[in-house]
Structure 1
């Protein structure tokens, strides 16, 4: 694309097959990555959206979600360009014809926001983690945008939750997945709420961290993660139904589940996986009962 070498691709979203967005980062000067947003319309060429107002230090587009093609939210990972070197997040919104940077909560240390998703353009969520000086996760973060100006930090999460990797929901329910610290190791954790104040918590005895979630209707969900230690065969898929979660192995190759998405026009869902076996990655298709 445009003579640049891509460093990584992290996100894809589209309101239709004829309008698809993708995001990641390219290798910039001195190999510093630069955040890039692509758009493909009417199954034509991928074009860089140069109107996204990124700046020096904006390294990657990590997540994209929109209510429609004229109302799109883009999550960007950024860092300071001068000491102290901190990692932080920017959220841009396309509302009609132009992009604008939104006001997000401020943090005194590095953060890594991983995923953005919403039910509508006035009910949007972003999740991630606050990091210590060694880039270890220490506090789970959940931000909410209710359509009234700036993003708000949700402070009702469990105190031992250290990171959230994904958020989804249906009806009145929100489901956020990630991990907590049990005193000796990280464990997978799933949180459900209908009011963002009271959370029903499900701790995993198997997974190390949950990194993906998708909900077809209230009270049901599919999550993905990885057991500890991460190795071939450690990927997990976790189903949520009738108030309980059940974990199962994907296969003997997959190391972790990185993404979940429904297939339009069907009752099928796709799970993307990765592996530590060279060149091995997979997409698995299942049926939502």
Structure 2
């Protein structure tokens, strides 16, 4: 989800369109005819929002292709995407900075994909991706300004496991690759999946997701940029176990010492054979990550699927137990 103000926020509705907050209540807003599945949304203003994802039923020989939708203040419409080259192409993240400046990331076949909106059209942008023979994809993007943008993803060698985290940074002129710390034991089959990134300052950015290994249920992933390097920071549920997993899906920030990450934990054991999901909400106070257990939820299967910080300084999150439940945190 993404918000512009306390009275203007958007949440994805899967294949069912969108949900919009007007300051009083949420209402469903239909997507355009022929719309696909949107994976990310970014709001730049009351009449300027972008959603990106993919759609099925593509041309012959393709599995699915990218789709970009735009909100103009009255309705959602499909905006043409650049040509794609692989058997499949998808967009997983979007950042909207101005009416003539938006970015989207994903993959085109086995190569990471970056696209830019200049106010008139979307175009592909050449970026430094891992070398030949490596499969790469970018899953998240966030910009503090047009001169400070982070994109996060992974690459892997299909002939061997596991994958490798990688980051790209845009300084207003060019994209460059920035090394990231890799999870311990990743050469033994532990995978990392970064789902979200937030750019806070020149020396401050976070990416979150989860890790998983052979025979393990997974653990939370929290990695921080301090202006010199990316490094892992301990967080609750960050050690995979055979029965319990912690995963983070979204991250947002109100200040360097007020960062929120959301996702879920679930347990699979003799007492929970069907997987028991619980909301996972973490808070960074500038020193450490701690779990916040105040999020009101209903049902037996809950996951925070969206987080956003409004200009008014509120955190809004969306939980989903099969029926979206949109909540706010003052």
1:101 is aligned to 2:124:
yes
The correspondence for 2:164, drawn from 122, 130, 139, is: 139
Cα offsets for 1:198-256 (capped at 9, x unmatched) = 63612433652222110111122000122244844322010111411111454353432
> TM-score of the superposition, structure 1-length normalised?
0.81
1:89 is aligned to 2:112:
yes
Change (3 A) 1:135 1:88: farther
Cα offsets for 1:96-147 (capped at 9, x unmatched) = 4343321223333223321111111121111122246499862222221222
1:21 is aligned to 2:46:
no
The DSSP-based 3-state class of the residue aligned with 1:60 is: strand
The DSSP-based 3-state class of the residue aligned with 2:249 is: strand
Aligned residue for 1:227? Answer: 265
State how 1:169-184 maps to structure 2 within 5 Å.
169-171=199-201, 172-180=203-211
**1:159, CA displacement in angstroms?**
4.2
> TM-score of the superposition, structure 2-length normalised?
0.72
| Cα distance in 2 between the residues matched to 1:194 and 1:89 | 25
Change (3 A) 1:205 1:2: closer
The correspondence for 1:46, drawn from 67, 73, 76, is: 76
Cα offsets for 1:145-192 (capped at 9, x unmatched) = 22232x222214234372321111323311111234578632112122
Does the CA-based 8 Å contact 1:117-1:126 persist in structure 2? yes
Which segment is superposed worse, 222-231 or 108-117?
222-231
Which residues of structure 2 form unaligned runs of 5+?
Answer: 1-30, 187-191, 239-244, 269-274
Does the CA-based 8 Å contact 2:195-2:248 persist in structure 1? yes
1:168 is aligned to 2:198:
yes
1:121 is aligned to 2:151:
no
| Cα distance in 2 between the residues matched to 1:173 and 1:154 | 14
The DSSP-based 3-state class of the residue aligned with 1:202 is: coil
The correspondence for 1:191, drawn from 223, 233, 253, is: 223
Aligned residue for 1:82? Answer: none
Bigger strand fraction:
1
Change (3 A) 1:222 1:135: farther
| Cα distance in 1 between the residues matched to 2:33 and 2:227 | 47
| Cα distance in 1 between the residues matched to 2:228 and 2:266 | 30
Which segment is superposed worse, 238-247 or 203-212?
203-212
Which residues of structure 1 form unaligned runs of 5+?
Answer: 80-86
Cα offsets for 1:36-59 (capped at 9, x unmatched) = 111121x22322212x31324353
| RMSD value, Cα | 2.8
1:268 is aligned to 2:301:
no
Does the CA-based 8 Å contact 2:224-2:233 persist in structure 1? yes
State how 1:241-252 maps to structure 2 within 5 Å.
241-249=285-293, 250=295, 251=297, 252=299
Does the CA-based 8 Å contact 1:141-1:163 persist in structure 2? no
Higher relative contact order (CA 8 A, sep 6+): 2
**1:257, CA displacement in angstroms?**
1.9
| Cα distance in 2 between the residues matched to 1:19 and 1:198 | 32
Which segment is superposed worse, 87-96 or 213-222?
87-96
Paired residue total: 272
| Cα distance in 1 between the residues matched to 2:162 and 2:42 | 27
